[in-house]
């Protein structure tokens, strides 16, 4: 009689761990296509591509649909990026990157979310900010994640600030600031834990991946990720790149 070797519990667990990123990636890809279509068609309606709408409320509804679609898409992208990171299949494509262009693209993506809450996004790219060596897509995703998070935790009719520039020491600094609930040191630790269900996340929608994923992607592009927060006052996230990324 042939004896079939039995898998150990650790082997079964490892196999399940490897299967989860694959499943998440497959499902996320299937969801992303219709979400892109929803956001795209809503934008066409909002911009009255085929003629003026009979009532301005239709434009407002289309904008809300686009914002909801893009928010859902950002969650799917977070899951995709997280699954790639855990599967070890994520590499940065470092090339010449215009920080001003990336910042504007990120702001455009989250604008509908901010508009629904009457939140103003104030973008400031300081004069003399050079192009840098980075991964355009990853940097854009980092900024989208951070802006989405800042909007989520802001009060209605507040401002979210996006500032970028070169420091006196020649390093590149990107800051995103919101004036919402803020965090304690414990809550910062919770927020940087993937899928965390602690006090910082438990009353808010989303995956709980925004900050932790942004930190990992920042480090993948050779940057430093820092959070400075005061409870009930503000949260400021800083991304710092050394001067060797600057293109002279």
pLDDT in tens, 119-177: 999 999 988 899 999 999 899 999 999 999 999 999 999 999 999 999 999 999 999 99
CB 46 within 8 A of CB 60: no
Backbone angles phi, psi at 125, to 5 degrees: -105, 110
Instruction: Read off the tokens for 66.
Output: 């686009």
Best CA proximity match to 119, nearest among 153, 75, 146, 143 = 153
pLDDT score at 140 = 92
pLDDT score at 19 = 61
Q: How far apart, in whole angstroms, are the C-alpha atoms of residue 155 and residue 120? A: 11
Residue 216 neighbours by CB under 8 Å, 6+ apart: 85
Best CA proximity match to 232, nearest among 196, 182, 191, 172 = 182
- Regions in the chain scoring below 50 on pLDDT: 4, 12-14, 16, 197
């Amino acid at each position: 009689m042939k004896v079939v070797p039995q898998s150990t519990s650790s082997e079964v667990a490892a196999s399940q761990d490897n299967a989860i990123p694959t499943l998440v990636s497959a499902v996320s890809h299937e969801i992303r296509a219709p979400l892109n279509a929803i956001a795209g068609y809503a934008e066409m309606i909002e911009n009255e591509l085929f003629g003026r709408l009979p009532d301005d409320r239709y434009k407002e509804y289309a904008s809300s649909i686009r914002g909801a679609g893009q928010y859902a898409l950002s969650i799917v992208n977070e899951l995709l990026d997280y699954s790639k990171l855990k599967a070890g299949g994520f590499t940065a494509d470092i090339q010449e990157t215009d920080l001003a262009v990336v910042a504007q693209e990120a702001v455009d993506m989250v604008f509908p979310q901010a508009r629904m809450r009457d939140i103003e996004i104030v973008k400031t790219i300081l004069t003399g900010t050079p192009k840098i060596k980075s991964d355009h897509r990853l940097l854009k995703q980092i900024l989208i994640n951070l802006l989405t998070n800042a909007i989520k935790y802001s009060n209605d009719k507040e401002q979210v600030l996006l500032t970028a520039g070169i420091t006196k020491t020649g390093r590149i600094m990107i800051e995103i600031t919101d004036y919402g609930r803020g965090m304690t040191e414990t809550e910062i630790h919770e927020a940087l834990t993937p899928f965390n269900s602690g006090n910082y996340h438990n009353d808010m929608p989303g995956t709980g991946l925004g900050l932790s994923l942004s930190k990992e992607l920042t480090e993948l592009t050779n940057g430093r990720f820092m959070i400075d927060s005061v409870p009930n006052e503000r949260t400021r996230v800083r991304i710092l790149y050394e001067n060797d990324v600057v293109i002279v």
